[in-house]
Structure 1
Amino acid sequence: MSLTLPNAVTESATATDSPFLEVTWHDTESSATGYLVIDRLVRGLCSGGLRMRAGCSASEVRGLARGMTLKEAIHFEPGAHYVPLGGAKGGIDFDPYDPAAGGVLERYLAAMAPLIEQRWTMGEDFGVRQDAVDRAIERIGLTSSVQAAHRAVPDMAAADARMAKAFSTDVDGISLDELVGGFGVAEAALAALRHRGMNPAESTAFIQGFGSMGGAAARYLARAGVRVVGIADVHGVVSNEGGLDVERLLLTRDRSGAIDRTQLRDADRIEPGDRWLQISADLLVPAATSYCIHAGNHAEVQATVIAEAANMPITPEAEQALDLRQVTVSPDFVANSATNAWWWWVLFGDIDGSAEQSFEKISTRIGALSDEMFARATEDRTSTRTAAFAIAIERLADINTRFDAFALTR
Structure 2
Amino acid sequence: MPASAPSLSLTWTDHLSGCRGFLVVDRLVRGVASGGLRMRPGCTLDEVTGLARGMTLKEALHYDPEARYVPLGGAKGGIDCDPRDPEAYGVLVRYLRAVRPYVESCWTTGEDLGLSQDLVDRAAAEAGLVSSIQAVYPLLDDEPGARRRLADAFAVEVDGIGLGELVGGCGVAEAALTALDRAGVPHRGTRVAVQGLGTMGGATARFLARAGLTVVAVADIKGTIVNPAGLDVEVLLAARDGHGTVDRAALRPGDRELPGGAWLTADAEVLVPAAVSYAVDTSNQERITARWIVEAANMPVLPEAERLLAARGVTVLPDVVVNSGTNAWWWWTLFGDVGPDAPEAFAYLRRSMRGLVESMLTRAQTDGTTPRAAAHALAEERLPVIAERFGSYR
Shared fold per TM-score greater than 0.5: yes
Equivalent position to 1:144, from 115, 131, 138: 131
Counterpart mapping for 1:94-243 below 5 A: 94-243=81-230
Identity of aligned residues (%): 54
- Match of 2:89, SS state, is helix
Computed over aligned residues only, the root mean square deviation of the Cα atoms, in angstroms, reads 1.2
Counterpart for residue 58 of structure 1: 45
Counterpart for residue 64 of structure 2: 77
Counterpart mapping for 1:357-372 below 5 A: 357-372=344-359
Q: Is 2:27–2:393's contact at 8 Å kept on the other side of the alignment? A: no
Query: Which stretch shifts more, 314-323 or 395-404?
Result: 395-404
1:335-365: CA deviation from partner (whole Å, max 9, x where unpaired): 0000000000000000012001100111000
1:386-410: CA deviation from partner (whole Å, max 9, x where unpaired): 0011011111111011111259xxx
Equivalent position to 1:338, from 308, 325, 334: 325
Q: Distance in 1 between matches of 2:84 and 2:242?
A: 13
Q: Is 2:364–2:370's contact at 8 Å kept on the other side of the alignment? A: yes
* One-letter amino acid of the structure 1 residue matched with residue 172 of structure 2: V
Counterpart for residue 387 of structure 2: 400
- Match of 2:188, SS state, is helix
Q: Distance in 1 between matches of 2:271 and 2:182?
A: 15
* One-letter amino acid of the structure 2 residue matched with residue 324 of structure 1: A
Counterpart for residue 3 of structure 1: 2
Confirm or deny that 1:19 pairs with 2:18. Answer: no
1:140-181: CA deviation from partner (whole Å, max 9, x where unpaired): 221100000111111122212311221111111211111000
* One-letter amino acid of the structure 2 residue matched with residue 24 of structure 1: T
1:301-359: CA deviation from partner (whole Å, max 9, x where unpaired): 11101111000000000000001011111100100000000000000000012001100
Q: Is 2:196–2:244's contact at 8 Å kept on the other side of the alignment? A: yes
Q: Is 2:224–2:259's contact at 8 Å kept on the other side of the alignment? A: yes
1:266 is displaced (CA, Å) by: 0.8
Q: Distance in 2 between matches of 1:60 and 1:157?
A: 35
Query: Which stretch shifts more, 39-48 or 92-101?
Result: 92-101
1:104 is displaced (CA, Å) by: 1.1
* One-letter amino acid of the structure 2 residue matched with residue 234 of structure 1: I
Counterpart for residue 41 of structure 1: 28
Q: List alignment gaps of at least 5 residues for structure 1.
A: 5-16
Query: Which stretch shifts more, 56-65 or 135-144?
Result: 135-144
Q: Distance in 1 between matches of 2:253 and 2:119?
A: 37
- Match of 2:129, SS state, is coil
1:212-240: CA deviation from partner (whole Å, max 9, x where unpaired): 11111001101111000010011111111
Equivalent position to 2:271, from 261, 281, 284: 284
Normalised by the length of structure 2, the TM-score is 0.98
Q: Distance in 2 between matches of 1:381 and 1:272?
A: 37
* One-letter amino acid of the structure 2 residue matched with residue 335 of structure 1: V
1:95-153: CA deviation from partner (whole Å, max 9, x where unpaired): 22222111111111111000000100011111122222222211222110000011111
Q: Distance in 2 between matches of 1:275 and 1:305?
A: 17
Q: Distance in 2 between matches of 1:88 and 1:51?
A: 12
Query: Which stretch shifts more, 138-147 or 334-343?
Result: 138-147
Equivalent position to 1:389, from 371, 376, 383: 376
Q: Distance in 2 between matches of 1:222 and 1:294?
A: 27
Counterpart for residue 29 of structure 1: 16
Q: Distance in 1 between matches of 2:21 and 2:160?
A: 35
Counterpart for residue 11 of structure 1: none
Q: Is 2:298–2:319's contact at 8 Å kept on the other side of the alignment? A: yes
Q: List alignment gaps of at least 5 residues for structure 2.
A: none
